Amino acid sequence: MVEARTFPTIDIRGVNTILLRDGSEIRLEDIQSSEQGRAILDEIDGAILAIEDQIALGFQSDDPSWKVRAEIALKRKRRSRPALQARIGELRRAEKALAIKDTHANATSKVDAKRQAFVHAAYELLGHETCVEVWALAQEKQPALFTEGGSS
């Protein structure tokens, strides 16, 4: 799960609360991945096209107010797109930063594991006294690395 910055907001249907085709609602803050946001955006785009087609073709209904309701629904769907696109952008950036961080952590841990394997093999091959001498020489050459603030 990726965490992006969220600020407390008032729920406004069609702006930060999106009505889905199945009748359920989802708040922008509840969208957890860019993939999920993209699927919702695709659903909104499909609904917009369907409503536009109904209005253009003059969908016939016994209810005289259907066109007004369709235009209101179209406005709400269009109004929700920019906020959803912004949320998808936030999530993509957070996912990308997490992927970079994970890649760096894996590379660092692999390098550290190689160094540790080398030290163990050198200790086994050279013996305790020689390794103590090498440690003292390294400390003499780069004392900053062996101080309290440096890494061990």
Q: Hey, is 62 helix, strand or coil?
A: coil
10-54 pLDDT per residue, tens = 666 656 788 888 888 888 888 999 999 999 999 999 999 999 998
Taking 60 as the threshold, does the pLDDT of residue 7 lie above it?
no
Is-contact 146 139, C-beta < 8 A? yes
Q: What predicted TM-score, i.e. pTM, was given to this entire model?
A: 0.57
Is-contact 109 13, C-beta < 8 A? no
